[in-house]
C-alpha cells in the first residue's frame, strides 16, 4: 500500500514540476518577446520623429515638396543590429483641401490643408514588428485675406491725421505695431489685430506725443479704447512691473 501511494505522490510532484517548468519557459518567452517588441516600438517612434523633423526642415524651403524630396528624408541609424527599418515613407494625401478656422488666432480665415502620412515600420529580434503611422497637416493661409500684413523685421506704424481712418480688414505684423490716433475717433479697427511682436499706443517716428487711443471693435460691434499696451497699464499712469 505504501509503495503505490509513494509512486502516486511522486507522479503528482513530477507533474507539478513539469508544469512549473512550462510556466517558467512561457513567462520567459513572453518577457523576451515583450522586450523585443518594446525595442522595435521605440525604434519605429524614432523614425516618426525623424520624419517630423525632416518635414519641418523641408517646409522652410518649399510649401509643396515633391515626392523625390520626401523620399530624401531618411530614417535614423539604429545602433542595435537586431533592429532594422522594414519600411519608412512619407506620402502626401489627396489634393489640398480648403478649411475655415473656427477657433484660435486664425478664426474666420481660411487655408489650404495638405496631409502627409509618415509610416515607420521596424522589425526586431524573434520576428517582432512595430508599425507606426502619423498624419501631419500643413496649412497655408493666403495673405490677401489681411487688410494689412507686415513681415518680420519691419515694424508697422499706423498714425492717421485728423480725418478718421477705419480698418475693415485684419491687421497683422510679424514684428511690432505702433498705433495711435490724433483724436478719439481718428483710428478705428473693425477686425482683428495681431502681432508676433509687441503693440504700442504710440508713434515710432514721433514717440512720446500720445494723443488718443485706437478704437477696437468687439464681436458685438461696440468700439473700445485700446488703453494699454506692452509698456503701460490701462491709461498712462503706471508701467507694467
Selection from 112-121, 126-135, 223-232 with the highest mean pLDDT: 112-121
Helix (H) or strand (E) holding 67, with range, is helix 67-71
Report if residue 241 sits inside a domain.
no
The contacts of residue 193 (CB under 8 Å, 6+ apart) are: 170, 171, 172, 177, 199, 216
List the grid coordinates of 25: 519557459
What is the tens place of the pLDDT at every residue in 32-76? 568 878 888 999 999 999 999 999 999 999 989 999 999 999 999
Are 92 and 184 part of one and the same domain? no
List the grid coordinates of 218: 468687439
Are 74 and 137 part of one and the same domain? yes
Give the Cα separation of 176 and 183 in Å (integer). 22
What is the tens place of the pLDDT at every residue in 85-94? 999 999 998 8
Beta bridge partners of 167: 189
Report if residue 182 sits inside a domain.
yes
Report if residue 160 sits inside a domain.
yes
Beta bridge partners of 212: 181
Are 209 and 127 part of one and the same domain? no
Are 81 and 94 part of one and the same domain? yes
pLDDT above 70: residue 113: yes
Residue 17's pLDDT is what? 52
List the grid coordinates of 179: 498705433
- Domain tally for the chain? 2
Calculate mean pLDDT across residues 165-180: 89
Are 171 and 120 part of one and the same domain? no
Q: How buried is residue 92: exposed, middle or buried, by Cβ count under 10 Å (0-12/13-18/19+)?
A: middle
Are 128 and 150 part of one and the same domain? no
The upper half-sphere exposure of residue 96, i.e. CA atoms within 13 Å in the direction of its Cβ, equals 14
Calculate mean pLDDT across residues 11-27: 51
Residue 219's pLDDT is what? 82
Report if residue 170 sits inside a domain.
yes
Write down the pTM of the prediction. Answer: 0.61
End-to-end CA distance of the chain: 97
Are the beta carbons of 101 and 112 closer than 8 angstroms?
no
**Domain, as residue range, for 86:** 36-141
Question: What percent of the chain has a predicted confidence (pLDDT) above 70?
Answer: 82
Residue 61's pLDDT is what? 92
Residue 160's pLDDT is what? 84
Are 185 and 208 part of one and the same domain? yes
Residue 124's pLDDT is what? 87
Q: Which of 126, 141, 156 delimits the end of a domain?
A: 141
Residue 37's pLDDT is what? 81
Considering only CA atoms, which of 196, 206, 192 is closest in space to residue 158? 206
Amino acid at each position: 500500500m505504501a509503495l503505490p501511494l509513494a509512486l502516486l505522490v511522486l507522479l503528482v510532484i513530477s507533474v507539478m514540476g513539469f508544469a512549473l517548468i512550462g510556466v517558467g519557459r512561457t513567462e520567459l518567452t513572453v518577457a523576451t518577446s515583450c522586450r523585443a517588441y518594446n525595442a522595435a516600438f521605440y525604434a519605429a517612434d524614432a523614425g516618426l520623429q525623424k520624419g517630423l523633423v525632416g518635414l519641418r526642415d523641408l517646409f522652410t524651403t518649399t510649401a509643396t515638396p515633391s515626392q523625390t524630396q520626401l523620399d530624401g528624408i531618411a530614417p535614423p541609424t539604429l545602433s542595435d543590429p537586431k533592429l532594422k527599418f522594414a519600411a519608412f515613407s512619407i506620402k502626401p494625401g489627396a489634393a489640398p483641401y480648403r478649411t475655415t478656422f473656427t477657433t484660435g488666432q486664425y478664426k474666420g480665415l481660411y487655408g489650404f490643408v495638405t496631409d502627409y502620412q509618415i509610416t515607420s515600420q521596424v522589425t526586431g529580434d524573434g520576428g517582432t514588428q512595430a508599425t507606426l503611422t502619423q498624419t501631419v497637416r500643413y496649412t497655408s493661409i493666403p495673405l490677401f485675406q489681411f487688410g494689412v500684413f507686415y513681415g518680420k523685421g519691419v515694424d508697422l506704424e499706423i498714425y492717421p491725421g485728423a480725418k478718421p481712418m477705419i480698418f475693415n480688414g485684419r491687421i497683422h505684423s510679424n514684428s511690432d505695431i505702433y498705433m495711435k490716433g490724433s483724436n478719439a475717433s481718428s483710428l478705428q479697427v473693425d477686425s482683428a489685430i495681431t502681432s508676433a511682436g509687441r503693440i504700442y499706443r504710440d508713434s515710432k517716428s514721433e514717440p512720446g506725443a500720445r494723443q488718443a487711443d485706437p478704437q477696437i471693435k468687439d464681436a458685438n460691434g461696440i468700439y473700445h479704447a485700446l488703453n494699454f499696451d506692452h509698456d503701460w497699464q490701462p491709461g498712462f499712469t503706471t508701467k507694467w512691473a
